[in-house]
Each structure stands twice: as structure tokens, then as C-alpha cells.
Amino acid sequence: MTEDKFFIAKVADLFIENGAKTLTMDDIAKEFGMSKKTLYKDYKNKEVLLEEALSYTLQDVLERIRNLDNTIENAIERMLSRDEEIEKASSSNNSILLRQLIKYYPKIFNRHMKDFSEKFSAIMVSNIERGRKQGYYREDFDALFYAQLFFHLVMSYNSTFFDISNLSRSEYHYESLKFYMNAITNDTGKDYMKAFEESLK
């Protein structure tokens, strides 16, 4: 039972709702009507279970982002078609789970964010390569570095060093996206981006 996706998905929800430190193994065992001994049989401690729950959540988000990449062929349209997954990812940076991870489990937090950055950036690199082939993106920049910059930009809503009180999280995310897109597109790409944005109005 403790190895199926339903279990890990539910545990991930419990961590998100209650926090990494607040939720105990007793709470988890009680939620599933099992003994703590049974739970410890599969997970030697809470940290192991926490890392598995984080990994599951990350893979779930990344899979949905990849699916959207597969359904929108044009690289610019894909980036400008607002999907909820990237915004969910950035908003999770302010959750009780993430705050408690930073405070009580910094090593797990750093591993999780490094893994997130690497996998998210790989998806962005794929978009850059597609956009270059389509003639919309510049060739004279390091795709991986720019992808990593974009990841850190969208994840930094709550840690910026300037006043963004007049911007909602969604607005901040969109302004960050426009900043990034203007940095990577060539003149042809900028013209296409402008026309596409006009078509959405």
C-alpha cells in the first residue's frame, strides 16, 4: 500500500497542508489507518518519506509542463500561452511546506530546488532549441544559463530586493516571462511575439 502513487500523492498533500516539520509520522499513519510500525517498515524516517513526496510532486508538475510542450509546436506560442503549472511552481515557493523545509531541513530543500532547477531548465532549453530552429530565438547566448536564470527569476517573487507590492504573483510571473522572451528573441521573434499577443486581446 505504501508504495503506490495514491499513497505518495496523499502524503505530499499532507506535507503541503501542514508543513514539513509540523506533520509527524504518527499523523501520517493515523491518516491511512495503519500502524506506525508498518509505515517505518517502508520508510526508515520522516526525511526519507518527505524526499519521496517532494520527488513525486516535482515529477507530476514537470510531466504536465512537458505535455503542454508537446501540444503547442510553436516555441513562442508555447511560452506565451499561460499555463497554471509554472505559476503553481513559483507560488509553491511561499507555502508552509517550503518555509519549513528552508528552516528545518535545509539540505533536503537545497537538493529539491537543485533538482527542480535542473529539470525545469532542461525543458526551457528544449524550447530554446525549438525556437532557434523555427528562426525566432537568438543564437548568441548560452541556452542552459538563460534557462536557469529564468527559473530563478520566476521563483524569486518572495525574495526580490525591490518593492513589488503593486504586482500580484501572476503579474510578476508574466512580467518576468516578457523580460525573458525579449532577451532571447531575435527581430523575427519579436515581431511574431507582438502579433501573437495582439491576437490574444
Tell me the mean pLDDT per 10 residues along the chain, length 201.
78 93 96 95 95 92 88 94 67 73 94 94 97 98 97 81 81 91 98 94 79
Q: State the Cα–Cα distance between residues 175 and 14, nearest whole angstrom.
A: 32
Q: List the one residue out of 20, 8, 18 whose CA is nearest residue 47.
A: 20
- What secondary structure letter does DSSP report for 1? -
Q: State the Cα–Cα distance between residues 73 and 78, nearest whole angstrom.
A: 7
pLDDT score recorded for residue 1: 41
pLDDT score recorded for residue 41: 94
pLDDT score recorded for residue 154: 86
pLDDT score recorded for residue 93: 54
Long-range contacts of 151-159 (CB under 8 A, 24+ apart): 151/116, 151/117, 151/120, 151/121, 151/124, 152/117, 153/179, 153/180, 154/86, 154/89, 154/90, 155/89, 155/90, 155/93, 155/113, 156/93, 157/90, 157/91, 157/93, 157/94, 158/93, 158/94, 159/93
All domains of the chain in start order, with CATH: 5-199 (1.10.357.10)
The answer to whether 139 and 132 have CB atoms below 8 angstroms apart is yes
pLDDT score recorded for residue 89: 64
pLDDT score recorded for residue 53: 94
